Structure 1
Amino acid sequence: MPRPPKTLQPERSPADWFGAELRYWREKRELTQRELAQRVWVSMSLIGRIETADRECSPDLAWRLDEVLDTGGVLARAQGLVTATRKVESSETDKTASASTGHVAGTGEPSMLEGVERRDFLRTATAGLAVSPLLALSSPFQDTLCPHQVRAVDIAQVREAAAVFSGWDHTYGGQVARAAVAGQLRAAADLLHAPCPHRLRGEAFSAVAQLFMVAGFMAFDAYAHDDARRLFAFAAECAEEAGDWHLRAKIYSHRARQAVWCADPDQGITYAELGLVRSERLSAAEKAMLHTARARAYAKTGLRTETLRAVGEADAAFAAPTAVEPPSWMAYYDAAQHAGDTAHALWDLAVAGVHPPDGALRRLEEAVGGHTDAYARSRAISAIKLASLHLHGRNVEEGLATATRALDDVGRVRSRRAEDDLRELHALLNRTPEVDGADAVSARITRALEGTCP
């Protein structure tokens, strides 16, 4: 049975009153915490913590809550009082804390960065937070309060945020989800400035690494490549500090894919091989993912033999039994994802005319058929590649049918990578002999691309 909601005490403080008011309006609109969280693009735990006055609501979130709940602006007006009160309380508390040792008065707990030079470690983050357009936060986020002590619930919230944003990214693409992640990045980075029990230290670094990794891939998908490089670099440092080999491998896989996309396949190979260091600590899916990154890099250089060898190593790794269980966030790398990723390497060889297209066609069909709606972006990209390969092979009718299915997904997704693949398909279609239905597909692609960046 679900636990009854916690009894609120709105008379205790402005924050408690705000939380009670939020619960009142949420229940009045017959929404669960999860349903409301999805509508305002935050985690369910954050809604719960605001309702119980364990977390302050930002002005931006208060405005979104008012809009979704149709309160007439009650929450946005009340939020200013909450912030002002919390600042006074924070100032008084700070006077009792040690200013020189990095410990919270009375806790005896070490700093999060015990054994790490704080200034050097955070240099990457500071640069990114200061100059990155993604993280040039508007004034409502500037007043985010650094926690006085890192708790397990803070770490859980960062992980939940990473999972939520990753889900949006897979379904809708990085351009849609990217704007929502900025405030969570600031809050996550603040954890690294707060005192933390030693037992939570690794978990805290790992959670921050995961969120920054997700944000980095969003930036990559939106072609904000400088942002992505900074976010990935910081995520990698946090993963190294946490000793999290799974996250480390995933981050280097992302860095390899970005390097390949940015026409630097040599760097892509380097990143993939860095990810494979101590591969005995990785799951089968993680090793396959990194070998696939190598294959895609080799394919971009036109190295047929090396590409095929890397694809074979990826297939062998994916099929091999392993005692290492993958983390939950690797669940996306299933048979459909593996087929699609390896197919992209074979696609380059087929289009270059140095390898038959059969393998790429078969794998792309498996990817398109295997991806669920939760991975609409991957399905769309694989379908566009499949349609293009059919057109390259003069199998025009099949290409048009596949393109039509891809366009159904593209309408849900905002991804610069998908848009570029669609432009390539459109150009190829314009060079294809006229057949029935070609004009209709071409017109749909034009409409899909309207309003997107060139």
Structure 2
Amino acid sequence: MPQKPKLLDHTESARAWWGVELRNWRRARGLSSAALGVKVQLSGTMVERIEKNERTCTTELARRLDQALDAGGALIRLWERVQAEADSPRDADKSASPTPDPGSGTPAAGTLRRNTDDGSKPPVIRRRFLAGGLAAAAPAALSGPDIPAAGTTPLPKSIRPQDIDQIRAASTALAQWDNLYGGGGMVREAFIGHLRWANDLLTVPCPVHLHNTLFTAVGQLAITMGASAFDAYDHPTATRLLSFGTRCAEEAANWHLRAVGCNWQARQAIWTGTPDEGLTHAEQGLVRAERLTPREQAMLHNARARAHAKMGHHQEALTAIATSDEIFSYARPGEDGPWMTYYDHAQHHGDTGHAAFDLALTNPRTVRTAAQRLHTAVQHHTDSYLRSRALSGTKLATLLMTTGDPHHATATAHRALDEAGRLRSQRALDDLRALGRSTHPYRHHPDITELRHRITTLITP
């Protein structure tokens, strides 16, 4: 039976009220969310999430929705109330709704602004970022009585370069740990102190010459944490942190970090079953692509390939893979920021291999391409990227098992299981479940029986 529509609370905020009215107008016009989405070039899922106040809107989109529903300006006028609430000084320190408000004074996606003030950035401006980002993403458990209170270390009176260096160091350490062990367990918990510290630093006056550097550092930390939360399947936290980190990159006028944020937003959307939304994030990241390095462009074209593959767009996916390959061939050492350290030869082949894997399940002509790319990733990933190697190895084993090579698949699978067993990664567990399902036709073979037992042991809580 279809799920009962979620009850919406119009008293939560002006934006929640706007979502309720959007749903009311849509129903009054007899349109499904998918039908309305076609009129405004959105997916039906995105329309529903805007109605539920789970995704933000923009003034331009509000105008298009008003026109599509023939609302006579009612939705536009109500949207002005949403913007007024977002811009109100009394709301600056409040915890915000699930995603950042479009009226928060930050640039829209794809438009970067440089700070030209002569003095320090007022703390209230940065608190608007907090409302939709790090503070909103902190786990509820932080308020428990057994957790030490934040603020035991005095904040500086003004942001100093060494404060920013600490944030960068935290991002580097967390990324390394996450790549080795996955986003669950200790890795998932370790960021809380860094989260609080970065959160508090954004309330400290910042000299103008450090403004962009501060927002870049905090944005990098937020995106690193968001990617880790995604791996742990804490998707609400991941969504907020990735959105917040991307907005920090925009505030810092850092196109390179913004591309990374858009890439992780795309990957999460694709993984959670909304590849059309993922494609949108990837294409937003490619705005002004000439400002990005070859690795950054290739990374985003891989996200496009994976989105198209999930939607069954075979030719578009293959074209995106070919584009990514060509652009990646121009990459040179030393031209990328620290957030792109992971994206090497092995990662490129792993990402394109994952896209080709989805195509190979329905198109035998792409099996060899997928297998070769995944094999290259497994062979070239270093021990520092254990999770990436395990994910590519599991995919390769599943592909070989599905296409009728159980002997080779079993040997590949055992190595992947050796590595996956050291991780706390929900993504890795999901891939192991898919591998287990692929063994079903050979379940009576002794070697496969042993493999199935190992898989069951690993995925059982």
Tell me the TM-score normalized by structure 2: 0.70
Residues in 1 aligned to 2:141 and 2:322: alpha-carbon distance in whole angstroms: 38
1:156-305 superposed matches below 5 A:
156-176=165-185, 177-305=187-315
Is the CA contact (8 Å cut-off) linking 2:137 and 2:237 kept in structure 1? no
User: 2:133 touches 2:240 (CA, 8 Å); kept in 1?
Assistant: yes
Would the alpha carbon gap of residues 155 and 118 (structure 1) be closer, same or farther in structure 2, given more than 3 Å must change?
closer
The residue identity in structure 1 corresponding to 2:161 is A
Match of 2:162 in 1: 153
Show CA shifts across 1:331-361 (max 9, x none): 2111110001001111011112364300000
CA RMSD of aligned residues (A): 2.0
SS at match of 1:165: helix
Gapped runs of 5+ residues in structure 1?
1-108
d(CA) in 2 for partners of 1:257, 1:219: 13
Q: Hey, what's the Cα distance between the residues in 2 that align with 1:206 and 1:134?
A: 28
Residues matched between the structures, number: 341
State the shift of 1:433 in Å: 5.3
- Aligned mates of 1:386, 1:256 — CA distance in 2: 23
For residue 426 of structure 1, what is the aligned residue in structure 2?
436
TM-score, scaled relative to structure 1: 0.72
Report if aligned partners of 1:295, 1:308 keep a CA contact under 8 Å in 2. Answer: yes
Does the CA contact (< 8 Å) of 2:137 and 2:240 recur in 1? no
2:330 aligned partner: 320
Query: Are positions 1:128 and 2:127 aligned together?
Result: no
| Alignment check: 8 A CA contact 2:127 2:202 kept | no
Could you tell me how far 1:430 is from its partner in structure 2? 2.6
Return 5+ residue gaps in structure 2 as ranges: 1-117
Q: Is the 8 A contact 1:112 1:192 kept in 2?
A: no
Q: Where does residue 339 of structure 2 map in the other structure?
A: 329
User: Partners of 1:296 and 1:125 in 2: how far apart?
Assistant: 27
* Distance verdict in 2 for CA 1:438–1:136, change over 3 Å: farther
Mapped contact 2:308–2:314 kept (Cα < 8 A): yes
After TM superposition, give the deviation of residue 127 of structure 1 in Å: 5.8
State which of 378, 386, 409 in structure 2 corresponds to 1:376: 386
CA contact (8 A) 1:147 1:190 kept: no
Task: Map residues 14-33 of structure 1 onto 2, 5 A cutoff.
Answer: none
Aligned-partner residue type, residue 253 of structure 1: N
Asked if the contact 2:130/2:136 (under 8 Å) is kept, the reply is no
Specify whether residues 135 and 158 from structure 1 end up closer, same or farther in structure 2 by C-alpha distance, changes over 3 A only.
farther
Distance change >3 Å, CA 141–CA 232, structure 1 → 2: farther
Question: Per-residue CA shift, 1:148-189, capped at 9, x if unaligned?
Answer: 211111000000000000000011000031100011011012
Distance in 1 between the 2:457 and 2:443 partners? Answer: 21
Letter of the aligned partner of 1:410 in structure 2? A
Letter in 2 for 1:302: G
Partners of 1:369 and 1:205 in 2: how far apart? 37
Give 1:110 shift: 3.8
User: Identity percentage over the alignment?
Assistant: 45
Work out whether residues 346 and 377 of structure 2, in 8 Å CA contact, stay in contact via their aligned partners in 1: yes
